[in-house]
Amino acid sequence: MENRRPLIAGNWKMFKTCSEAVETTRRLLTLLEKNVDTDVMIAPPFTALAAVANIAKGSLISVGAQNLFWEKEGAYTGEISAPMIASAGCKYVIIGHSERRRYFGDTDQTVNRKIAAAIQNDLIPIFCVGESEKERESKETFSVLDKQVKKGLENFSSNDLKTLVIAYEPVWAIGTGKTATRIQAQEAHAFLRSKLVKCFGNKLAKSIRILYGGSVKPNNISELMAMPDVDGALVGGASLDAETFRKIIDFQT
């Protein structure tokens, strides 16, 4: 994994009220006292961001949002901007999750604008890419990843992308219990890194963390993390329970 610091990120999706999110965070804080080798992020719903960030302040846990809208402010009912997310105490923001692409119309172009807004506001973007089951079956995995990265990162310089995190999340593995094998994950991650080398040079490509996401559980995290280009995980379902998430954070390779 070279010198990339592992990142285990929890995406809580549309689960947990504010008080439930605070309770889970408190529990996680007590469980994580000794963990120092891995970066940890949790992404609660917008309504709990400030409360969770407040209790996680100064701890090992960073907080992230699950989405943003690229404008700073304005008549955009229901949307949340990058400055609002930053001011709630967030360090990260998940962008282009397949559920956003599938249900809420996110495209490679809107994802590109969202990444730009995140960077301008010093938020670390976790940029999600991944192929559907049909695309994998028709051997289009690499061409899909190629297009998503090309369009999603269009017009950025390597300086802009210093903090970027990519999450490879095969759509067929999200919330389905089907995990990519460690070989499939490594192949996709290596492909993504080679694409980054071509677009932004070796130095940046070697420093960008590429997370795997898709039914990560305590019993499969270690084998995934043992792969050279897997630098962490984006965890959905298994991040909702503090004890289970702690087991993932404490992976051993």
What one-character-per-residue DSSP string does 179-192 give?
PPPHHHHHHHHHHH
For ligand PEP, the binding residue among 213, 220, 230, 245 (CB under 6 A) is 213
The closest of 191, 186, 187, 199 to 152, measured between CA atoms, is 199
For ligand PEP, the binding residue among 7, 11, 32, 67 (CB under 6 A) is 11
For ligand PEP, the binding residue among 236, 242, 245, 246 (CB under 6 A) is 236
Q: Which of 97, 99, 135, 189 is catalytic?
A: 97
Amino acid at 129: V
Q: Which of 99, 131, 135, 169 is catalytic?
A: 169
Burial class (CB in 10 A: 0-12, 13-18, 19+), 38: middle
Active site residue 135: no
The nearest distance, CB 42 to ligand PEP, in angstroms, is 12
Does 174 participate in binding ligand PEP (rule CB under 6 A)?
A: yes
Q: In this complex, which beta carbon is closest to ligand PEP, that of residue 44 or of residue 214?
A: 214
Binding mask 38-77 for ligand PEP (x = CB under 6 A): ----------------------------------------
Cα–Cα distances (Å) from 13 to 47, 55, 91, 141, 248, in that order, read 12, 20, 17, 25, 18
- Token digits of residue 48: 């709990």
Active site residue 131: no
Say which residues have a Cβ less than 8 Å from residue 181's Cβ, sequence separation at least 6.
none
* Positions in the binding site for ligand PEP (CB under 6 A): 11, 13, 169, 174-175, 213-216, 234-238
